[in-house]
Amino acid sequence: MTNPRHALIIANDRYSDQGLKQLKAPAQDATALAGVLHDPQIGDFEVDVLRNAPADTMRRRVQGFFSDRRRDDTLVLHFSCHGLKSESGELYFAASDTEPRLLDATAIPAQFVRGCMSRTRAGRTVLFLDCCYGGAFSRGSASVRATGDVNVLESFTRDRPPGGRGWAVITASNSMEFAFEGDELAENAAPRPSVFTHAVVQGLETGEADLDADGEVSLDDLYEYVFEHVQEQNPNQTPSKTVEMQGELHLAHNRRGRIKIAAHPSPPSLLAAVHSDNAFTRQGAVLELRSRLHNESLPLAEGARQALEEVASNDIRQIADEACRALRDIRLAPSVDRLDFGLVPKGSPLQEKSVTMNGPPLARHCVAQPTQPWLRVEPTANGFTVRVDTNAEGRLSGDVTLKGVADEAVVHVEAVVGPASESEPSDDTTGTSNGAAQDRDTVVVEPSGGRPAGRTTATTGENSAQGTGDGPGRTGPQPGRAALPSHRASALAGAALALAATAAVTVVLSIQGIVAAALERSGQGGDLDHYVHRHGVLPLLTVTLITAVLALVAGAFARRDLETLDRRDAEPAVHGTRSMTSVAKGLAVPALIMAVIVLIGYLIAAPQA
């Protein structure tokens, strides 16, 4: 998120006036909320925290926070303190030195905050109020009284910001409700976060507030999540919201979320076959589900994936293994797992490399999230581009995490940014046409032709990627992980082909021998077994049976090794290995069948001859 984002957290838990009960949550609230808002992988806000400050300091900080802003700024102001109501019905926020009888002089009027929001030039402003309105005071206090309700949202809707600027107010509770700290408002309880702010922090930190699973936590997502969470914890507390804003405001990234697709259920007849008592019927259902897994329609493919997951978990070993092999088809398959930009000049235009997502549509549909502020990710027609901001000098190392419906992958990125006068751009990098900072938001990579899921808009294809592929990860025949299985698979495939060819030749020779033996016996008479041994038919059949079985076993091991390689291995050697195993199987199976038929025929005919 390249637009400036600023947050001010005001937390007051200690009050000089004895009538104001000391709060326990604000200190924890301030620390936890500041952490998630500042995290570049979540909120990416510039955060300022003000704790237990007197009223004049609070006024200065609030007014200064809203001053000197620009149209593209996003501001978040969070209050965690007591909310007080004056005799005239006005709402005030308590400072550490607030005297309830002198609210105008010692507290912060809601009207003052509203005025600052109205005058700011920031494009979008969000106000969170985690306050108790008139009810969270020590009982029996003569100096503090809660007389009548106070409509909190009404205090902020009288003067709307001019010029079409967007703003929103979200409150922990409305009117006279308590803003609960944990389960109770006990005097001597251990510190614990408030229900409201805890829900805000948890929703942002875990990504659970990303209700539509688009990789972003919008303002609406967060409010709905917080409302349900608070109501579950305490039905007597009702968060409220008022919004005057065009379009969506993304408050945070969902750094942990995966793509979620509304699945289209498989046909009842196919589901019935999946649960059939007949193993062959279930195996046929797995083949049909595997075909549907490659469908261009993402909801249909997702329905097949969920059915295959069930089969893989619950069926017998043979069928479960078939389901697992089918599910490997949709593993995330970026064309490279490592991008090395080499040495680039400091302050040069953003350096760019491309990554292609391979596999069926469901495998190409994912969320791409950078883990460092100097990384930029943008969707392309074939996958996404990774760009490096060269403003920071030194060795840069970070990751782009990819999250799909079933698994995750990582593209590691490295660069060395040196002084502009001492370095030149790397030969294999491409500078951008301008030096403006690009949007570092999470992007959704969506396969071309696939049906959109959620709010995703980017598309991908199946073309080859640009960039390096020499990393130690999951692409190509690489040292340690891919090269050895690829080499072994080629050797096994070659052995399988040689054995299969031997089986094919020996079965032909054995058939010729049995025919010759039968012709000699018909012309000269005698025992058929004598002529069969004379032409060496049985040794040939034995060789055929052994070599055919060994060919099938070697081919099976070769295919297993290929399965352990990611399906992104598209080099000629891998294609050649697959071709050899297919040809070997095509030779060995008929040879084995013919040898068995000849042997059975001989065993039946010999005693009768």
| DSSP per position, 392-427 | S-EEEEEEEEEE-SS-EEEEEEEEEEE-TTT----T
What pLDDT is stored for residue 569 in this prediction? 43
Q: Judging by DSSP bridges, how do beta strands 5-11 and 46-51 pair with one another? A: parallel
What pLDDT is stored for residue 467 in this prediction? 37
Which of the four pLDDT bands, split at 50, 70 and 90, describes residue 486? Answer: low
Greater confidence, 420 or 235? Answer: 235
Contact 586, 497 (CB under 8 A): no
Model pLDDT for residues 294-310, shown as the tens digit of each residue: 999 989 999 999 999 99
What pLDDT is stored for residue 348 in this prediction? 84
Model pLDDT for residues 516-543, shown as the tens digit of each residue: 877 877 777 767 777 778 778 888 888 8
Crossing angle for the helix pair 572-605 and 537-564, to the nearest 10 degrees: 150
What pLDDT is stored for residue 411 in this prediction? 94
Is residue 410 packed enough to be buried (19+ CB in 10 Å), middle (13-18) or exposed (0-12)?
middle
Rounded mean pLDDT of 319-345? 91
What pLDDT is stored for residue 458 in this prediction? 34
What pLDDT is stored for residue 144 in this prediction? 41
What pLDDT is stored for residue 40 in this prediction? 84
Q: How far apart are CA 297 and CA 132, in angstroms?
A: 50
Taking domain 5-253, whether its CATH number is 3.40.50.1000 is answered by: no
Rounded mean pLDDT of 421-449? 49
Give, as one character, the DSSP assignment of residue 345.
E
Which of the four pLDDT bands, split at 50, 70 and 90, describes residue 511? Answer: confident
Rounded mean pLDDT of 505-519? 85
For the chain, the average pLDDT equals 77
Rounded mean pLDDT of 394-409? 87
Q: How many CB atoms lie within 10 A of CB 91?
A: 26
Q: How far apart are CA 93 and CA 82, in angstroms?
A: 6
Q: Please work out, in degrees rounded to the nearest 5, the angle formed at the alpha carbon of residue 237 by the alpha carbons of 232 and 240.
A: 105
Per-residue pLDDT for 426 more than 50?
no
Give, as one character, the DSSP assignment of residue 381.
S
Rounded mean pLDDT of 113-142? 72
Q: What percent of the chain has pLDDT over 90?
A: 24
Question: Picking from 230-234, 458-462, 582-586, which range would have the lowest pLDDT averaged per residue?
Answer: 458-462
Per-residue pLDDT for 349 more than 90?
no
Contact 428, 468 (CB under 8 A): yes
Chain centroid, CA 108 distance in Å: 43
Q: How far apart are CA 292 and CA 372, in angstroms?
A: 37
Rounded mean pLDDT of 16-24? 77
Sequence-ordered strand ranges (E) for 64-143:
74-85, 91-94, 107-109, 124-133
321-323-324-330 Cα dihedral, nearest 10 degrees: 160
What phi, psi does 493 have (nearest 5°)? -65, -40
Dig out the tokens for 495 from the structure.
């052995």
Rounded mean pLDDT of 118-140? 71
Domain 5-253 matches domain 338-445 at the CATH topology level: no
Greater confidence, 593 or 446? Answer: 593
Contact 321, 455 (CB under 8 A): no
Greater confidence, 538 or 108? Answer: 108
Per-residue pLDDT for 151 more than 70?
no
Q: How far apart are CA 483 and CA 498, in angstroms?
A: 23
Which of the four pLDDT bands, split at 50, 70 and 90, describes residue 461? Answer: very low
Per-residue pLDDT for 56 more than 90?
yes
Q: How many CB atoms lie within 10 A of CB 516?
A: 15
CATH code reported for the domain at 338-445? 2.60.40.10
What pLDDT is stored for residue 606 in this prediction? 66
SS3 210: coil
Rounded mean pLDDT of 314-333? 91
**What are the residue boundaries of the structural domains of the chain, listed by start?**
5-253, 268-330, 338-445, 483-608
What pLDDT is stored for residue 20 in this prediction? 78
Contact 182, 23 (CB under 8 A): no
Q: Please work out, in degrees rounded to the nearest 5, the angle formed at the alpha carbon of residue 462 by the alpha carbons of 461 and 463.
A: 105
SS3 115: helix
Q: What type of residue is 483?
A: A
Contact 353, 432 (CB under 8 A): no
Per-residue pLDDT for 513 more than 90?
no
Greater confidence, 559 or 79? Answer: 79
CA neighbours closer than 13 Å in the CB half-sphere of residue 477: 16
What pLDDT is stored for residue 286 in this prediction? 92
Q: How far apart are CA 521 and CA 374, in angstroms?
A: 87
Rounded mean pLDDT of 443-461? 50
Dig out the tokens for 8 from the structure.
């001010």
Model pLDDT for residues 553-597, shown as the tens digit of each residue: 988 888 877 765 544 444 455 667 777 888 888 888 998 898 888
Contact 107, 55 (CB under 8 A): yes
Per-residue pLDDT for 188 more than 50?
no
Q: Judging by DSSP bridges, how do beta strands 124-133 and 166-171 pair with one another? A: parallel
Q: What type of residue is 608?
A: Q
Using CA atoms, how far residue 426 sits from 336, 342, 343, 416, in Å, is 18, 6, 6, 10
Residue labelled with tokens 């004049």: 56
Q: Which segment, 15-24, 59-68, 126-135, 225-234, is predicted with the most confidence on average?
A: 59-68
What pLDDT is stored for residue 37 in this prediction? 94
Contact 366, 404 (CB under 8 A): yes
What pLDDT is stored for residue 165 in this prediction? 61
Q: How far apart are CA 482 and CA 387, in angstroms?
A: 27
SS3 266: coil
The residue count for the chain: 609
Give, as one character, the DSSP assignment of residue 440.
-
Q: How far apart are CA 359 and CA 333, in angstroms?
A: 7
Greater confidence, 144 or 232? Answer: 232
Rounded mean pLDDT of 544-560? 88
